[in-house]
């Protein structure tokens, strides 16, 4: 037998929507069959009567009175529900916890909400990235595409359309840029200065800009163009536009270009554009042969030399640690692809035999012999996992295995910090090393690509690594030279 309980709150008005929500909450209580909180208007009297909710007290309510009407399985349940309803009526209206700021769902409405938008930073899955970039350039925005897995055909078509529209496309697979003092995606906090960088490689731009910063220099802009921009199919469209932009930029005094060696046709275009720029320029094509250059261009072969060349300084060479040299090979476990390439360039230049999963010209694949330089950012290691710069755990397995190897003389590492990177990669490395290192383990050498102004703070990272027994070189190039010095 149901029990009907009414309570009338005289001269209490609440909006009907608020009351309907409250009614539903009360009706949901276990044992409550039906509940209504309504103003006592004639229409509402009828509704509550029809719902079997009216008792004597409710019938006394006038239009300005609030009726709380409950039908429940028993008196106790009804009383408890009434108490609950009254408590909720008294409770201050809390701002809903899920009240959130509105977020645009499309580029179109984001642009509408922010007039003057000038850059789209795109990191959606590769299948969709070109389409989003196309929307951006058609609306007058430049685009930076962090996403990879965009087809080469799509990249070429997109960049041709962009060039026609006068828009710059950085990427696809552009990990790093610094535009007008703003680091984008994986970049470091570096001082503003007069050196402009155009780079087909993210970590290349990071290493060069950080070495420039460490030596007191600064960056005007660093424009990433993506790893395939200089391929003949694309023809260096973005690189050439970026060079034009830096030529016209009064803040840029010196231009640095860093990339893998392009085909002859594209190399010629880049050199001709550098000559047109009329500003002193440093060209670093990782693994390239010496080229015939315009008079304003200097060719260098490592990231370190690119940085110091742009600064107009001789590159220093830090003294290698005084450790006993050891028999065996160097194993490079790199998170930064261009840092791995730089290691290969230097070792190759020293006449060593070596192999790599990301071999530069003259280096054999992994089946060869000699030092082994692994790029752990390669697809083989990152399929279904974040990049090792984001998740240093990608390096754990090969590192732990290497720490037990006696045929390896030196384990060569890199640590890259800054925006986008892991919060504390040094701590992660230190922990693995502490757990797995023995007296028989190979030497450990690394460098830290970053600056004091980065969130992770370069000196803190460095100190943590030194405490863990890792030798930390001032640059990746010096780390490679040190490694060679510790191999007999």
Partner 1 sequence: MELIETANAETVKRMLTGDPVLIDVIPAHEAIPTLEPGMILHAGPPITWDRMCGPMRGAIQGIAVLEGWAGDLNDADAKAAAGDFAFHPNHHFDAVGPMTGMTTVSQPMLVVENRAFGNRAYCAINEGLGKVMRFGGNDTEVLDRLRWLRDDFGPSLGKAIRHLGGLPLKNIIARGLTMGDEMHQRNVACSGLTLRALAPALAETSDNTTELSKALAFIASNDQFFLNIAMAMGKSITDPARGIKGSSIVTAMSRNGTDFGVLVSGTSDQWFTAPVEMPDGLYFPGYSEADANPDMGDSAIVETIGLGGFAMGAAPAVAGFVGAGAASEAGHFTRRMGEITTDENPEWTIPAMDYLGVPTGIDIRHVVETGLAPTINTGIAHREPGIGQVGAGVVRAPMGCFRDALTAFAGTLGVA
Partner 2 sequence: MSEKSNLLQGPLKVVNIGLDSFADELKSQGVEVQNVDWSPPASGDPRMAALLSKLGS
The residue ranges that bind partner 1 (CB under 8 A) are 15, 17-18, 20-21, 23-24, 27, 34-36, 38, 43, 46-48, 50-53, 69, 95-96, 98-100, 102, 104-106, 108-109, 112
Classified as helix, coil or strand, 202 is helix
Q: Which stretch binds partner 2 (CB under 8 A): 205-213, 240-248, 310-318, 320-328?
A: 240-248
425 with 392: CB under 8 angstroms? Answer: yes
Q: Which stretch binds partner 2 (CB under 8 A): 49-57, 90-98, 246-254, 470-478?
A: 246-254
Element (DSSP H or E) covering residue 84? helix 75-90
How far CA 99 is from CA of 19, 96, 103, 366, in Å, comes to 20, 5, 12, 54
Could you say which of partner 2, partner 1, none residue 38 binds, taking C-beta under 5 to 8 angstroms by partner kind?
partner 1
Could you say which of partner 2, partner 1, none residue 466 binds, taking C-beta under 5 to 8 angstroms by partner kind?
none
Nearest to partner 2 of 92, 250 (CB atom):
250
Nearest to partner 1 of 15, 90 (CB atom):
15
CB of 405 to partner 2, least distance (A): 36
CB of 179 to partner 2, least distance (A): 6
Could you say which of partner 2, partner 1, none residue 123 binds, taking C-beta under 5 to 8 angstroms by partner kind?
partner 2
Q: Does 106 bind partner 2 (CB under 8 A)?
A: yes
CB of 433 to partner 2, least distance (A): 28
Helices 126-138 and 152-165 cross at an angle (nearest 10°) of 10
Site for partner 2 in 179-198 (CB under 8 A): 179-185
| CB-count burial class (<10 Å; 0-12, 13-18, 19+) for 472 | buried
For the four alpha carbons of 139, 142, 148 and 150, in that order, the dihedral sign comes to positive
Distance separating alpha carbons of residues 26 and 76, to the nearest angstrom: 14
Residue from 419, 453, 457, 485 binding partner 2 (CB under 8 A): 419
Nearest to partner 1 of 10, 138 (CB atom):
138
Distance separating alpha carbons of residues 482 and 124, to the nearest angstrom: 40
CA atoms within 13 A on the CB side of 427: 6
Residue from 12, 20, 43, 104 binding partner 2 (CB under 8 A): 104
Distance separating alpha carbons of residues 25 and 79, to the nearest angstrom: 15
372 with 331: CB under 8 angstroms? Answer: yes
Nearest to partner 1 of 23, 456 (CB atom):
23
Nearest to partner 1 of 10, 108 (CB atom):
108
For residue 186 the two structure tokens come to 């994986």
Residue from 5, 77, 122, 190 binding partner 2 (CB under 8 A): 122
Residue indicated by tokens 């408890």: 80
| CB-count burial class (<10 Å; 0-12, 13-18, 19+) for 114 | exposed
Q: Which stretch binds partner 2 (CB under 8 A): 91-99, 129-137, 203-211, 356-364?
A: 129-137
Q: Which stretch binds partner 2 (CB under 8 A): 72-80, 134-142, 302-310, 425-433?
A: 134-142
CB of 444 to partner 1, least distance (A): 51
Element (DSSP H or E) covering residue 216? none
Distance separating alpha carbons of residues 229 and 222, to the nearest angstrom: 15
Distance separating alpha carbons of residues 123 and 90, to the nearest angstrom: 48
399 with 431: CB under 8 angstroms? Answer: no
CB of 17 to partner 1, least distance (A): 4
Q: Does 256 bind partner 2 (CB under 8 A)?
A: no
Q: Does 249 bind partner 2 (CB under 8 A)?
A: yes
Contact residues toward partner 2 (CB under 8 A) are 103-107, 110-111, 113-114, 116-125, 128, 131-132, 136, 140-142, 146-147, 164-168, 179-185, 220-221, 241, 245-246, 249, 251, 419-420
């Amino acid at each position: 037998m149901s029990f009907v309980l009414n309570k009338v709150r005289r001269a209490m008005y609440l909006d009907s929507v608020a009351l309907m929500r409250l009614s539903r909450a009360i009706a949901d209580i276990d044992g409550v069959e039906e509940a209504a909180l309504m103003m006592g208007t004639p229409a509402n009297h009828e509704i509550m009567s029809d719902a079997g909710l009216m008792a004597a007290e409710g019938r006394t309510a006038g239009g300005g009175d609030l009726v709380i009407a409950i039908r429940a399985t028993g008196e106790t349940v009804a009383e408890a529900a009434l108490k609950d309803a009254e408590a909720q009526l008294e409770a201050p209206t809390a701002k809903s916890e899920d009240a959130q700021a509105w977020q645009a769902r499309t580029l179109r409405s984001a642009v509408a909400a922010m007039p003057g938008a000038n850059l789209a930073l795109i990191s959606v899955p590769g299948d969709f990235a070109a389409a989003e970039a196309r929307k951006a350039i058609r609306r007058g925005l430049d685009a930076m595409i962090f996403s990879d897995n965009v087809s080469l055909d799509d990249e070429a078509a997109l960049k041709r359309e962009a060039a026609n529209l006068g828009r710059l496309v950085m990427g696809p697979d552009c990990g790093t840029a610094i535009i007008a003092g703003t680091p984008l995606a994986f970049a470091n906090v570096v001082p503003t200065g007069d050196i402009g960088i155009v780079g087909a490689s993210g970590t290349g731009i990071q290493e060069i800009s950080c070495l420039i910063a460490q030596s007191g220099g600064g960056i005007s802009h660093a424009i990433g163009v993506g790893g395939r921009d200089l391929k003949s199919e694309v023809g260096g469209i973005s690189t050439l536009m970026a060079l034009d932009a830096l030529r016209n930029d009064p803040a840029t005094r010196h231009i640095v270009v860093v990339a893998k060696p392009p085909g002859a046709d594209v190399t010629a275009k880049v050199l001709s554009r550098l000559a047109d720029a009329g500003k002193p320029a440093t060209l670093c094509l990782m693994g390239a042969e010496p080229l015939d250059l315009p008079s304003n261009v200097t060719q260098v072969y490592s990231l370190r030399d690119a940085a110091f060349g742009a600064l107009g300084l001789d590159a220093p060479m830090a003294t290698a640690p005084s450790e006993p040299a050891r028999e065996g090979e160097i194993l490079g476990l790199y998170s930064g692809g261009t840092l791995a390439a730089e290691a290969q360039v230097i070792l190759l230049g020293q006449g060593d035999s070596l192999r790599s999963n990301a071999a530069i010209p003259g280096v054999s694949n992994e089946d060869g012999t000699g030092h082994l330089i692994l790029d752990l950012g390669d697809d083989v290691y990152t399929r279904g996992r974040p990049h090792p710069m984001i998740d240093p755990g990608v390096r754990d397995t090969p590192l732990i295995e290497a720490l037990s190897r006696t045929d390896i003389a030196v384990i060569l590492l890199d640590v890259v910090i800054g925006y986008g990177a892991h919060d504390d990669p040094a701590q992660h490395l230190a922990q693995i090393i502490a757990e797995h290192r023995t007296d028989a383990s190979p030497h450990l050498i690394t460098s830290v690509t970053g600056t004091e102004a980065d969130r992770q703070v370069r000196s803190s990272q460095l100190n943590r690594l030194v405490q863990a027994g890792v030798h930390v070189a001032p640059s990746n190039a010096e780390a490679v030279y040190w490694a060679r010095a510790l191999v007999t």
